[in-house]
Amino acid sequence: MANGARDGRPTMVSLARDLGVSRQTISNVLNNPDIVNERTRARVLAAIEETGYRPSAIGRALRTQRSMTIGLRLYPAIDGINGAIMDRFTHSLTESAQLHGYRLTLLSAADAPTEVKSLEALHHVSAIDAAVLTDTFLDDPRPAALGARGLPFVAFGRPWGDPDAPHAWVDVDGRAGTLAATTYLRERGHTRIGFLGVDATGVSADRREGWAAGMAGSGVAGRDLQVLLAHDFARDGAEAAAVLRDRGATALVCASDSLALGAVGVFRNESADIPVIGFDDTPVASAVGISSVAQPVEAAAEQIIGILLGLLAGGPPRRVLLEPTLVLRNLEQFAS
Binding residues for a copy of itself, rule: CB under 8 A, are 2-3, 6-9, 54-65, 67, 69, 74-77, 79-81, 83-84, 86-88, 90-91, 94-95, 98, 103-108, 121-122, 124-127, 150, 258, 261, 282-284, 286-288
Question: CA-to-CA distance for 319 and 97, rounded, in angstroms?
Answer: 18
Which lies closer to a copy of itself via its Cβ, residue 70 or residue 179? 70
CB 262 within 8 A of CB 79: no
**Min CB(219)–a copy of itself separation in Å:** 35
Question: CA-to-CA distance for 119 and 163, rounded, in angstroms?
Answer: 24
Of all helices (H) and strands (E), which one includes residue 251? strand 251-254
**Min CB(122)–a copy of itself separation in Å:** 8
**Which of 78, 296, 86, 84 lies closest to 170 in space, CA to CA?**
296
Three-state secondary structure call for residue 326: strand
Angle between the N-to-C axes of helices 202-215 and 174-187, in degrees from 0 to 180, rounded to the nearest 10: 30
**Which of 320, 326, 285, 280 lies closest to 301 in space, CA to CA?**
320
Which lies closer to a copy of itself via its Cβ, residue 3 or residue 191? 3
Which lies closer to a copy of itself via its Cβ, residue 90 or residue 182? 90
Question: CA-to-CA distance for 83 and 156, rounded, in angstroms?
Answer: 15
**Min CB(55)–a copy of itself separation in Å:** 7
Question: CA-to-CA distance for 209 and 175, rounded, in angstroms?
Answer: 6
**Min CB(91)–a copy of itself separation in Å:** 5
Which lies closer to a copy of itself via its Cβ, residue 134 or residue 183? 134
Of all helices (H) and strands (E), which one includes residue 180? helix 174-187
Which lies closer to a copy of itself via its Cβ, residue 128 or residue 180? 128
**Min CB(332)–a copy of itself separation in Å:** 16
Three-state secondary structure call for residue 207: helix
Which lies closer to a copy of itself via its Cβ, residue 7 or residue 38? 7
Which lies closer to a copy of itself via its Cβ, residue 193 or residue 238? 238
Which lies closer to a copy of itself via its Cβ, residue 9 or residue 188? 9
CB 251 within 8 A of CB 275: yes
Three-state secondary structure call for residue 20: coil
**Min CB(325)–a copy of itself separation in Å:** 17
Question: What contacts 149, CB < 8 A, 6 or more positions away?
Answer: 116, 120, 123
